[in-house]
Amino acid sequence: MNPTDQLPRVFQANADRFYLRVIVATLDQLPVHGALIMGEAKTFEEFADSCAAQVDNYTTNEAIKAFALTLDGMFERQLKRWATGHGVMAEKWDALLKECAQIGSLDLAANEIADDLVEMHLVANVVRHGDGRSCHELQARAPSFWDDSSRNYYDLVPGPAPRSDELRMKPNDLRRYARAVFRFWGHVDPLPHAALDPLY
């Protein structure tokens, strides 16, 4: 058996374990509050509870963004290792994804995997670099990340915030990304009994 053929299954298992054992386990411990109360508080306790809720929601949002960055970094390293194992070199992420899909005879569009993987990579770039091309592209692709109608988020850093710092995500976004990574490796897995869909 060619050791390279085992990589998709190992990559899938590693990403799956990271999502379930680290991301889900951590987010389950972080409280999330609904609409935040703004304005003058009637009591000190109300003021303190409001401040705690703002910090909780801000911290959870930062954790989600950090996990998106980590999951994207893991997936990119996996792609590079698998491509190298097949003698393929690609410098840019988009080209690397397409090359790896081609190696595995995977139609990314037909399997509805590409959109979530591309979005995950854009989020990672925005988290890593801030405002710029990726931020503009992500805003056009996923404007809901900047929707403030829920009023459940308040930026805790003083002064005007760059657009990239106002990126707001939910745990379900990480679930979509983890599912896309799982499905990608399942669909390119050449070994028998490949797992095509996760249980989450």
Helices 44-85 & 93-103 angle (0-180, nearest 10): 60
Q: Cα(122)–Cα(134) distance, rounded to whole angstroms?
A: 6
State pLDDT tens for residues 88-128.
988 899 999 999 999 999 999 888 899 999 999 999 999 99
pTM score: 0.92
Q: What is the pLDDT of residue 92?
A: 94
